[in-house]
Amino acid sequence: MNKPIRIALTKGRLEKDTIGLFEKLGFDCTAVHEKGRKLILPIPDANAEVVLAKANDVITYVEHGVCDMGVVGKDTIMEMKGKFFELVDLGFGKCKFALATKKGYNFYSGYGIKTIATKYPNVARSFFEKKGMDTEIIKIEGSVELAPLLGLADGIVDIVETGTTLKENGLEVIEDVAPISARLIVNTVSLKMRQIEIEKLIKLIEENL
Ligand code: PRP
């Protein structure tokens, strides 16, 4: 038996959805359900092991080849880029990147440079560059919605799922930036070295989406 295929999973909701998918494929995921504080868990039926990690780290591990595959949101992929294959849109973890402002604020009026607060500066920069619009981008770590309320920014580029956070804080989407969902990514060398196993797993996943 080859060494297990290592799959990095984004902790939290994507982890749960991915384990749900693996169970649909018939894999016993008991070790993941009973993980306690363990971070590497075997899925023996698939000759795989899952590594639980933060989204940015999923990309780092796959890019460096210490994990063969990964499940991560398109949001993180768009922000971090990196060298790996993005092979499957898993269809879950759906939300979007959007530009939002205080309700009723006319964002595109006037000639002054607009200030944008975001956790995703690369995504925001490239969105406004495509429009040929000069902006000041301010990186925020926590609740970005605070920035326009505090007067720090004219708008935010952030993830919108249900829209509740915006609504409850008097903000509204004025433009969609990009759709987001979970993606299966694969290390470039792993795909060559373990092509048969990886392609078999991907085929099984695609047939069960
Ligand atoms: C995201 C995002 C919004 C919220 C949107 O934050 O930054 O604040 O979800 O969701 P909604 O449209 O359903 O209200 P998240 O909850 O992931 O927490 P974070 O701030 O730690 O990223």
Digit-coded pLDDT (tens) for 89-128: 999 999 999 999 999 999 999 889 999 999 999 999 999 9
- Amino acid in the structure at residue 96: K
User: Per-residue confidence at 44, pLDDT binned at 50, 70, 90?
Assistant: very high
- Ligand 1: residue of 15, 157, 159 to mutate (most ligand atoms within 8 A of CB) is 159
- Which atom of ligand 1 is closest in space to residue 168's alpha carbon? 14
The pLDDT of residue 132 is 95
- The pLDDT score that the predictor gives to residue 2 is 83
Q: Does residue 168's CB lie within 6 angstroms of at least one atom of ligand 1?
A: no
For the CA of 95, the nearest atom of ligand 1: 12
pLDDT at 72: 98
CB 166 within 8 A of CB 145: yes
pLDDT tens by residue, 11-42: 999 999 999 999 999 999 999 999 999 999 99
Does residue 167 line the site of ligand 1, with CB under 6 A? no
Mean pLDDT over residues 132-157, rounded? 97
Q: Which helix (H) or strand (E) holds 48?
A: strand 48-53
Ligand 1 centre to CA of 55 (Å) is 14
Q: What are phi and psi of 136, to 5 degrees?
A: -100, 125
The sign of the dihedral angle between the CA atoms of 109, 114, 118, 122 is: positive
Q: 55: pLDDT confidence band, cut at 50, 70 and 90? A: very high
* Residue 84 confidence (pLDDT): 98
pTM for the whole structure: 0.95
Nearest CA to ligand 1 atom 17: 159
Whether residue 81 is predicted with pLDDT greater than 90 in this model: the reply is no
Task: Write the DSSP symbol of residue 2.
Answer: P
pLDDT digits (tens, 9 = 90+) for 57-72: 999 999 999 999 999 9
Q: Is the CB of 180 under 6 A from ligand 1?
A: no
Mean pLDDT of all residues belonging to the chain: 97
Could you tell me the distance, in angstroms and rounded to a whole number, from the CA of residue 159 to the centre of ligand 1?
6
Task: Say yes or no to pLDDT of 1 above 80.
Answer: no
Residue 157 Cβ < 6 Å to ligand 1:
no
With helix as H, strand as E and coil as C, how does 60-116 read?
HHHHCCCCCEEEEEHHHHHHHCCCCEEEEECCCCCEEEEEEEECCCCCCCCCCCEEE
26-to-46, 80, 89, 208 alpha-carbon distances in Å: 9, 33, 20, 11
Model confidence pLDDT, tens digit, residues 178-198: 999 999 999 999 999 999 999
- pLDDT above 70 covers a percentage of the chain that reads 100
Residue 177 DSSP code: E
- In angstroms, the CA 180 to CA 75 distance is 6
